Amino acid sequence: MSDYTFLKPFTFKNQPITLKNRIVIPPMTTRLSFEDGTVTQDEIEYYQKRAGGVGLFITGTANVNPLGKGFEGELSVADDRFIPGLSRLATAMKTGGSKAVLQIFSAGRMSNSKILRGQQPVSASAVAAPRSGYETPRALTTEEIKATIHDFGQAVRRAIEAGFDGVELHGANTYLIQQFYSPHSNRRTDEWGGTRDKRMRFPLAVVHEAEKVIAETADRPFLLGYRISPEELEQPGITLDDTLALIDALKATKIDYLHVSQSDVWRTSLRDPDNPAIINDVIRDHVAGALPIIVVGGIKTPEEAEKAAAAFDLVAIGHEMIREPHWVQKILAHDEKAIRYQIAPEDLDELGIAPTFLDFIESISGGAKGVPLTTATNDEH
């Protein structure tokens, strides 16, 4: 069957950019960059193998400054010297007509002094992440906050110069942008914290800086996306009402899409287990068509993708695209039975999965041999 809804083209409301289909490869950590964040040939080949089938391809996250680094093997867009490698990456991702988006972020407190080569992690406030192994960060000064906003803007400029079709601001998965909005990580009492509106100020300032740079620099249509995590489990933490308030503010900006980061497209509330409402449905109804929505989490088969495409604008397929780089192509060729849902060690070279990436997969999956990729790798990064 090749008449699936998800195979139909999609045109963004605010940009004359058309995707050849509604399938997205979401940002997924590969840990294939050099220590300093430079793109490697292994990385180019990994992305190249997965290009051409999907409509939209988003990179694993790239840090906007040295203190934004969250893990080893992470992309960087923190300096102009990274542009040539990023340009090669963008070209590889656009092979066959896929659109390429660079996700940008700062890890904030989701890092450590070892990764930062002796530097203390930073955040909105000096509050450690409530997870094992994370250090207490230092609070960014007002001057550093403004410099970080500028760094996001310069990252957007570099993405434009490198030839990407857009950027995605990573405001999810408890990284720095989300840390400023969260009442758990932001305990400030100045203009950057306190009330919900003040906690929202940093995320919106980053969006507006990106808008400004795109308006001044882009010589072609260029997408601006924003990724959110709808809830936090921490107390106090971001609630769904908080997220809907942020969405209202984002609807007044020039962002082109909203990417909802969850491990299950059909997830209900984590904070309110008695509420049967599907989070993505609530967000879609609240957005009310103002922005297209990308949903992600647990989609593997064409039938699952079609169900999601019937309810939402764009459908991201993460883990399955690691296993099956030609997922879309096999559907178009009426060869769905050939889609690979598990991988074996002898498949690794063919799939472009380098040892660093394999080690990461195995650490997340509890060291499972045979690399089934049935547990979380990174719809979460």
Tell me the catalytic residues: 175
Assess contact for 229 and 178: CB atoms under 8 A: yes
Q: 3-state DSSP helix/strand/coil percent for the chain, to nearest 5?
A: 40, 15, 50
**Residue 310, helix vs strand vs coil:** helix
Backbone angles phi, psi at 47, to 5 degrees: -70, -40
State how far the Cα of 297 lies from the Cα of 316, in Å rounded to an integer.
8
In one letter, which amino acid is 162?
A: A
Assess contact for 72 and 38: CB atoms under 8 A: no
Question: How buried is 312 (Cβ within 10 angstroms: 0-12 exposed, 13-18 middle, 19+ buried)?
Answer: buried
**Residue 5, helix vs strand vs coil:** helix
State how far the Cα of 179 lies from the Cα of 203, in Å rounded to an integer.
9
350-357, long-range: CB < 8 A, 24+ apart: 351/49, 351/322, 351/323, 351/325, 352/42, 352/45, 352/46, 352/48, 352/49, 352/325, 353/46, 353/322, 354/30, 354/32, 354/42, 354/46, 356/30, 356/31, 356/32, 356/73, 357/30, 357/31, 357/32, 357/46
**Residue 139, helix vs strand vs coil:** strand
- Residue 126 CB contacts under 8 Å (≥ 6 apart), including other chains: 136, 137, 138, 139
Give the total residue count for the chain. Answer: 381
E strand or H helix that includes residue 343: none
